[in-house]
Each structure stands twice: as C-alpha cells, then as structure tokens.
Amino acid sequence: MIIKELYRNNSVKIFAFNKQTMLELPFLECKIPAGFPSPADDYMELSLDLNEKLIRNPSSTFFAQITGSSMINAGIHDGDIVIVDKSLQAKDDSVLVCSIDGEFTLKRFKKTDNETGYLMPENPDYKPIKITKHNNFMIWGVVTYTIHKCY
C-alpha cells in the first residue's frame, strides 16, 4: 500500500491510495469476545490483506488524517486516519469528508430538503453547519472506516 499526500490544511490532510503491493498480515480465524472470556478454540492463523478487507473501490479511495475533536462521539479522534470512498452515494447520516465555502471538514450529513441540509458534529461543544444553495458545498467522499490508535 503506497500513500501519497495530496492536500493539507489546518484540519485535514488528504492522502491518495495506490495498491501496488499486497501486505498480508497474520489473522486469527477465531473471534475474540469483548465481553466475558471464552475457552480457546483452535487458533488457526491465516493471513489478511488489509487492502482487500478495507478498500472496496481502490480507484476512488483516499485516506485523510483528522485534526480536532468535533467527531469524538462518533469515535473519530484527533490524529485518526479515515478511509474515504468517493464512489459511494452520500446518504442521510453518512459521515463525510466535504468542503464548504473552501474549507475541508469531516461531519455527519443530515438532509432536510432539496435546498438545505446540515453538517452535524458529534461533540456538543460544536455547532451544526447549515448547508444552503448559497454555499459552495462539495462532497469529497463517504467515510467507510476509521483507523484509531487505542493507546
């Protein structure tokens, strides 16, 4: 997986995706419960190519590194990487990378009618952004996965 930086501003860095090599990593076939521990099954180790698992449409996929905390209640934190697919249709409640009046942002999309909608933060410290026909609004893609560091 080759990643090339395409764009950077104060809140978003955008990277291109180019699948030139496979990177197969070890993968345990058994499911690991996050509730109560269970007896060990046969732990057969397979391989997993993250390109195949996370990227549906390679030619329309890019990565973006997020800064800020407006989406923390959606599990997207400062410094996280999102995988974005430009070929997917934005739907009500989709998490989008978009630009509004020349500024990139990552927000949840709420459709209201044909001429308006809202970009909704997932943090009560931030206000929704109203989208009208007067805004220069463009959807760059729908977020499909978030890569989040756990520690």
Report yes or no: 64 and 13 within 8 Å, Cβ to Cβ: yes
Q: Could you tell me if 103 and 131 are in contact, meaning their C-beta atoms sit under 8 angstroms apart?
A: no
Task: Please tell me which residue in 4, 31, 69, 70 is annotated as part of the active site.
Answer: 70
Is residue 30 helix, strand or coil? coil
C-alpha span between 94 and 98 (Å, rounded): 11
- Is 87 annotated in the active site? no
In the residue annotation, 60 being an active-site residue is answered as: no
Q: Which of 120, 116, 114, 118 is nearest to 132 (CA)?
A: 116
Helix, strand, coil in percent for the chain, rounding step 5 = 5, 45, 50
Q: Which of 11, 107, 133, 149 is catalytic?
A: 107
Distance CA 106, CA 9 (A): 13
Catalytic residues: 70, 107
